[in-house]
């Protein structure tokens, strides 16, 4: 209940549809942040010292991480 009250205070005078845009952007940013963190941890685990290499975070690498994340969901949906 406290989370709802806090979110409602943050909404202020925005309409629900306007606030939806804000919330969706925040959810997207959180998701991308988690993907970058996962990629960083993968690189650290590999031990090659590439975690500080900017090329390892290029869109193709991150897209691969996102696809890997979505694969179990797609397989689950295919079974239904």
pLDDT in tens, 13-65: 878 888 888 888 888 888 888 888 888 898 899 888 888 888 877 776 667 76
pLDDT at 61: 63
Nearest CA to 57 out of 71, 45, 40, 69 is that of: 40
Taking each helix axis from N to C end, the angle separating 16-46 and 59-79, rounded to the nearest 10 degrees, works out to 110
Residue 45: what pLDDT? Answer: 92
């Amino acid at each position: 209940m406290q989370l709802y009250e806090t979110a409602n205070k943050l909404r202020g005078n925005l309409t629900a549809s306007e606030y939806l845009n804000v919330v969706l952007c925040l959810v997207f940013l959180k998701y991308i942040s988690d993907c970058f963190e996962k990629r960083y941890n993968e690189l650290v685990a590999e031990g090659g010292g590439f975690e500080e290499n900017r090329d390892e975070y290029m869109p193709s690498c991150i897209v691969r991480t996102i696809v890997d994340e979505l694969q179990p969901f797609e397989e689950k949906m295919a079974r239904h």
